[in-house]
Structure 1
């Protein structure tokens, strides 16, 4: 059996290591998202991933509205996402349309009912959003930078397979703290860095 004092979720480890405590705190925040999302899903007779899919389709462009893209977005197999879409279609929340860009694939489109559910459930984390809104500008900028760098690290480790942030974009350039977007022609400061950019193009490393 491993040494308990090397496990970051052990309270004794957290009491002597801020690294472990921060990791455990992030896990708690992640759990809160799951709880809030599950409550919204239950109220609408859906599963969490079905709700997430509706919200994603409502807030992103048609070019991303395919089963293949959704499966990558949510880190599930294409077969699993096909089952999700099948249920949403049966519930008349989503319809399949021919994809003008690819005759072999179909684009997913929300129905009026699907849009209503997406708009209703899209604020599932508003309790946390209200707290973040009370932070000072410097706190928000520092927290944003840390989280973006953490997410990019997870992406580089292939833990997160899909993201559309500045650091992985072909239009991103710079060294150290000096970053620039060559598409929008603007410096990328903590307040202008993006996590989910509509103009994102994955850089080929």
Structure 2
């Protein structure tokens, strides 16, 4: 088996071209995220944590959940959280049920930074907006299937998309959400759903 980065392999193999194309796009995300983190004197993961806290429910804003979300150790996440606490960007709130546990919330200053930083990838949306609706749907479906397979292989841990949700049903190419009691068009399949319920 040859590497996708082998130029001879790339020229002959569509899968290899897609792998390298995705790597180039991931590089764009890294550059944009790094620029945003430098602007705020934070690390890329600290910026990602702030953005996550801004848009997700309190029950997901715990160190253990964040470690799974970002595929990192609890110790690594805890180190980043310590920095955010020291900069007064987040606060700890004790869990009333489990006093050893706590959730994280943004301070007003943290929320301000998170709101601005959440647009770090907006320049990637510009070329996407130039695609036809059909092209967007094909790309979205392909990416969702890839994410699903990577999740099943244990490479990506937490996923809150339709394909991993107990409310989701697929029958002969028709997507259906039992929570919403409605059919879903291809473009309506969610990548990160707040009502997601993991299949048990």
Match of 1:184, SS?
coil
Alignment of 1:30-69 (within 5 A): 30-69=26-65
Matches of 1:68 and 1:26, distance apart in 2: 29
Offset at residue 101 of structure 1 (A):
4.6
Q: Report whether the alignment pairs 1:126 with 2:118.
A: no
Offset at residue 136 of structure 1 (A):
1.1
Q: Report whether the alignment pairs 1:74 with 2:76.
A: no
Q: Unaligned stretches of 5+ in structure 1?
A: none
CA-based RMSD of the aligned residues comes to 1.1
Match of 2:187, SS?
coil
TM-score normalised by the chain length of structure 1: 0.94
Match of 1:14, SS?
helix
Deviation track 1:63-112 (CA, whole Å, cap 9, x = no partner) reads: 11111111110000111111110100000000001223533311100001
TM-score normalised by the chain length of structure 2: 0.96
Task: Could you list the structure 1 runs, at least 4 aligned residues long, displaced by more than 4 angstroms after superposition.
Answer: none
Matches of 1:8 and 1:62, distance apart in 2: 41
2:88 aligns to what? 92
Offset at residue 131 of structure 1 (A):
1.3
2:98 aligns to what? 102
Moved more, 11-20 or 163-172: 11-20
**Count of matched residue positions in the alignment of Structure 1 and Structure 2:** 200
- Match for 2:167 among 171, 176, 179? 171
Matches of 1:130 and 1:99, distance apart in 2: 41
Matches of 2:136 and 2:96, distance apart in 1: 41
Match of 2:128, SS?
helix
